[in-house]
Structure 1
Amino acid sequence: MFGLWMLAWVDRANVAFAKLQMLSDLHFSETAYGLGAGLFFLGYVFLSVPSAIVQQRIGARRLISMIAIGWGAASIAMMFVKSAGMFYALRFLLGVFEAGFYPGVILYFNQWFPAKRRTRNFSIFHSAALCSTVAVSLSGGFVLEHMSGMWGLAGWRWMFLLQAIPTVLLGGVALFVLPDGPATARWLSDAERRLILDDFAQDRNHALPPVEGSSPLMANPMLWLLAGIYFCILAANTALGFFTPTILREAGFGGYSAIGNALAAICVLGAIGNIAFSAFASRYRDVRWHCAIAALVTLTSVVMLVFVWHSSRPATFAALVFGVAGTGAGVSLFWQLPARFMRENTLSFGVPLISSVANIAGFLTPWMTGYLRDATGSYASGFIAAAGVEVIAVVALVIGIPLVARRQQSVCGSCANATE
């Protein structure tokens, strides 16, 4: 699962590195690039919930294999882009294929790991997104610098091809090696299956009662609050994800290989910070405050970045490391919240719904950042806007969730009294 998630991020985010050549080759504006980068997330929005329904019917193994092969094929097709329309269509299609993977993994991990290990293990899985940037940076820098013009193809076209082939191969492997759950894992003994079941039984015995009330899922305020928080976290995440190579070039980090090496180092250090902070947070039952701290680190880093990336390479590097670590930990910790504040029988639809709504930020942020760059000549306005949205996440985590939880508990208590 780590390998598939790493390749998913390679295939969705390598456009940020390809941008260093592709925009001049195809005569795209920053706005066109931002729109194309963001259209991936619209496909994500529309298909997340339907994919979760399909997963319940055919199992994780078949769905994840089909998803991986599909997005790998769409990413290979990116090498043939010749117009903005084709760029937009393939980015949207890439999001359509990949839509069910991330929420499906969250639900899948809930079948394997009890609460005491879920935060740490999910942070390790999520760090694959940061490792993917290492893969994109090192291979992308080499390809753009040394393969441009080979067989008449631009370097960025080679990059899309070579970085997508492993996805198709690993998607095929998943069909044969990935179990649908503990019950079908041939490498587990009966005693080991009982240990897993006992872990989940202890979780149920020690769990706090859910606070979502008796309202239908779509009318549940906690669902929409969590979706709003994740929207804010993703705004900063996508701003950094799609524009960091350009920031490094403007900060004076040199040619393609030098930019790739710097980006790889940033992501390795960011991944270490993400895992270390999430492992520390996993010692506590309530990860809400730790998620808020991670969002605050991200906010501070993005604001710092705006002021230093044209004046100091070391400060730019440090700000990006803390920003990557903060967004990684924020996402890892956030996905422990739905299981704590929603009923178990609503998670199979609530998780993909939260993901769908929040990923609108993935569409809006790159488009807005590119548009503001064309309008103002600077990325500063876009990054300041992303930082402002991150403030909302911190406030909602610290103040909003307790308020909604208390309100729902009081409503539940009133309903119980009325019934009696």
Structure 2
Amino acid sequence: MQEDTIYEELGVPRVVNAAGTKTRIGGSLIRPEAVEAMSRAAESFVRLSDLQVRAGELISEVTGAEAGYVGSGAAACMTLAAAAAIAGDDLGTMARLPETEGIPNEIVMPRTHRNGYDHAFRAAGAKIVDVGNNDNYLGTGSNSTEPWEIADAITEDTVAVGYMEKAFSMPPLEEVVEIAHDHDVPVIVDAAAEVPPRENLSAFVDAGADVVVFSGGKAIRGPQTTGILAGKREYVRSAALQHLDMHVAESVWEPPTELFDKASLAGVPRQGIGRPLKVGKEELVGLIAALEAFVEEDQDELDAEWDARLDIVEEGLDGIPGVTTRREPGGKLMVAPEVHVEIDPGAAGTDAVELVGSLRTENPRIFVGSDDLSDGAFTINPMCLTDEEAAYVTERVRTALE
């Protein structure tokens, strides 16, 4: 494997990533085209609002949305979406966020869609209203959230309905959109990790979502600090007004008309809730290059590459006492297939927690998927591995068990 990375030079252990596109270990590897574009972007200056217009044109083209925008990650785009839903074009409300006393600020969400990332909504001043329950996990035959429960929760204080997109998310997005639109509120979809397939870039817009958020630093392989906001022009406009640097004299302020019309505003907005979430010129150019490359990528070829890499893993772990493996298809929590590795402590002499923990202390550190540790298992994901790294991870697991 590569041994002369920048991390060795800095005295920091690098990571062999068998966990997938996880932010805590660097997301994914930026595409070479994006790295080259970022390097060139660093050589000169540009008005960021002009560059956002160009990025927005590409996002609109590939998603089918009315408009697009780039934030500093998917969570940042969720904050911008919530801020847009709350403030609209009201400069006074923008200036007060996240203070929302006396201002409609509720985002209705099915309880089973709640997760740690919805803190991004609350950061903008939104209050999340839970609906539904967890009956489906109890086996009662009930749905976790019924459509009427979403409708019943929408009041004059509701600014949006939040929806976390996964293969198992219920109710169906189309039903949620119909209910929300019947009550004149938008639907914000968190689809951060839902590409590939490439078709998902437009699927949620086609289903009627008003704002959809994707990560730019996962499978798209743009800069890790980029996220995509695609949706109705009114929400992109509000997001831009609350995100761009507004330290400017009104007498010479001529913003791009593609983003917003200066004449329709009372003046220059204050620095908005999104100002700490800025995106640099290098990241913007890198995201543009990565997104262009992503939509041209041969997904069938990539699927075959992932499956061949998992063959290396399964063959390498075959025959180890106390180890059972199975191939899990993509489409649930991860877009790529994975090898699910179950450890029988009695036969293996160790358990999954001890094994996974020990791998992380090695140099280089090895990260495998840890979501199934409570069930005595872990996963190996091929998305961020080379074939050589897949063999290395397998050998280290085998060594630890033998």
TM-score range, shorter chain: under 0.3
Higher strand share: 2
Higher RCO, 1 or 2 (CA under 8 Å, sep at least 6)? 1
Give TM-score, length-normalised by structure 2. 0.27
TM-score under structure 1 normalisation? 0.26
